[in-house]
A and B are shown apart, each in its own frame.
Chain A
């Protein structure tokens, strides 16, 4: 029997029309915009112009889609997780396997697009921020392929907890620069990358890693990631004959979420669920749930939901997963929440870790801790649904990078369960 995907023409899955904003100033409703220092206003405008020009150019998409297919390995499969579905005993769970992309996460969809744009603009150097290191690795990867000098800014705390990714970036030829300011995590890495970019924008392109930041980044990052949802939508129709009832994605800054959910925006029968990092619980301060527990504010160039104190100072956040450990969120998700199109959920550290174990044992798929948040919520949602219904979960990345963290937390338990060191 041939795989269902073989019946699909690769390029025909992708809709290149830009839908649902933003306006010319980069606003999604009252959110978004370009709250940037004057020095960056013109460079950002140049990127915006270059993006719209490239997006209208078939040659740009030909090269981009060729790389996505033959370098990244798209389309990624949509996998019916039958064993997990049976274990949960509710709706059928389908996993969008972004973990199978080259470099192990969805991030490369965006870095390929932006690196092509940087090359079109004649920039020889790229910089990027990274939290979990997935965006850093995806940036270092395309920089290696395009022979561009690459500097990655990463909080020292994240460098500690994501050591394998740091080494991957170095192997790929990137410089990894530790950021010690503030909380030494993702937000501070963004601050530092912005500072460096201000001083180097003439020859340097900033590959922003999530669907946040000043216009046009939320727009561009979304457009480069909608391949996720567009494929999933086509694959779902192909495999089940209908659209999913629920689509679920984890949210830090929101790149995998907007990529999966945006193509379902007009399918009002599909519930769109964003799962935030609940950390140690939403009642305290140790979480990263900006949409659920934050309020509108301005950071890193755009107006969106923020975790901040009463005076507007940005809080340190907490999540077991470095990739979700960010006090802001993309402006389009904020607008979708206010419009009522987006529903919120959260998974705590413990719930994410449980889902990590469950998926690994049921399906032989080790998810990233970020994606485990989506799995945790997806399982909970599916449990209350009927077997003929479907829940689509974005498995945004693989868990190899998290072995250190998980070993610290679960190593002894796993050893006991499996009879210790008999191997």
Chain B
């Protein structure tokens, strides 16, 4: 059974009549120590934090998050660092939703059983594995459920009704709707199309539907937040790490940028 923390986050947001802000950073970027500080700055302003697990071959990511993975790995980030960062964030923010995000080979190599146990112990609420679609869920679904972790599944513009149903039946926590046929950090598509598809998915499930890939400005966040249950911002936050120099400057930029996104979403509240 899931620990309900994600469900509680969405309930709170709904009560406030607004979408949740879901922020992504890669753990260990630019190094494990700095990364923790950046995560804490983000956690203060986000409703859900996606903690990326760096991987050597991030096939679904654009250049910004690819580079983040490379920086983290070059700085020697290991899975134990990812768990330590998660634990520290959890201790500081007991109500924050935390989702570990990444590629299958990392938990598969550790063993999903060990991985799920540790992820749960350090306070993660869910796992989003980009390359384990519902059809291959046999390698992890039961294990995640046993350890109280939500299995976050993705949907995309190419998902048919059959696939939407598959994700809704097999996923938990929330649905992550990838708003464009492309990689992370690409330009956001037409908002009315995204809205129509989001509404269609919402009509097929009781789970919250978060929309991500391509949200870079507060205006876009407000536009998406007007209809989605959550707005995911990734590459835009990650890019602050290279466009600012020094830990303090990056922290300040991330805080400002997350605050702006949060205000925009609150402003769009209905």
Binding site for B on A (CB under 8 A): 25, 33-43, 181-182, 187-188, 191, 194-195, 198-202, 296-301, 303, 306, 308, 310-314
Q: Does B186 contact A (CB under 8 A)?
A: yes
- 28 pairs across A/B with beta carbons < 8 Å? A25-B136, A33-B135, A33-B136, A34-B133, A34-B136, A35-B104, A35-B133, A35-B136, A36-B131, A37-B131, A38-B153, A38-B178, A41-B163, A181-B70, A187-B57, A191-B58, A195-B61, A195-B183, A199-B186, A297-B105, A297-B109, A298-B105, A299-B105, A311-B78, A311-B109, A311-B110, A312-B55, A312-B109
CB distance from B156 to the nearest CB of A (A): 4
> What distance in Å separates the Cβ of A307 from its nearest Cβ neighbour in chain B?
11
Contacts of B157 in A (CB 8 A): 39
Q: Which of B11-70 contact A (CB under 8 A)?
A: 55-62, 66, 70
Q: How far is the CA of A156 from the CA of B148 in the complex (A)?
A: 44
The answer to whether A39 and B156 touch across the interface, beta carbons within 8 angstroms, is yes
Closest to B80 in A: A311
> How many residue pairs at the A-B interface have CB separations less than 8 Å?
116
Residues of B within 8 A of A (CB): 55-62, 66, 70, 73, 78-79, 103-106, 108-110, 130-133, 135-136, 153-160, 163, 167, 178, 180-183, 186
A199 to B178, CA, bound (A): 12
Question: Which residues of the partner chain B approach A37 to less than 8 Å between Cβ atoms?
Answer: 59-60, 130-131, 133, 154, 156
A25 and B135: CB pair below 8 A? yes
> Which of A34, A39, A187, A313 sits near B178, CB closer than 8 Å?
A39
Cβ-defined contact, B131 with A35, below 8 A:
yes
**In the complex, what residues of B have CB within 8 A of residue A39's CB?**
60, 156-158, 178, 181-182
Chain A binding surface, main DSSP class: mixed
* CB proximity of A43 to chain B, nearest CB, Å: 6
Using Cβ atoms and an 8 Å threshold, which residues of chain A touch B181? 39, 198-202
- Chain B residues whose CB sits within 8 angstroms of the CB of A199 once the complex forms: 180-183, 186
Do B57 and A314 touch (CB < 8 A)? yes
| Complex contacts, A42 vs chain B, CB 8 Å | 158-160, 163
CB proximity of B190 to chain A, nearest CB, Å: 15
A188 to B58, CA, bound (A): 10
B153: chain A residues within 8 A (beta carbon) = 38
- Give the most central of B70, B108, B154: most A CB within 10 Å: B108
Chain A residues with Cβ below 8 Å from B58 are 191
Q: 19 additional contacts, CB 8 Å, given A25-B135, A298-B131?
A: A34-B133, A35-B132, A35-B136, A37-B156, A38-B155, A38-B163, A39-B158, A41-B163, A182-B56, A182-B70, A195-B59, A297-B108, A298-B105, A300-B57, A301-B131, A303-B108, A311-B109, A312-B55, A313-B55
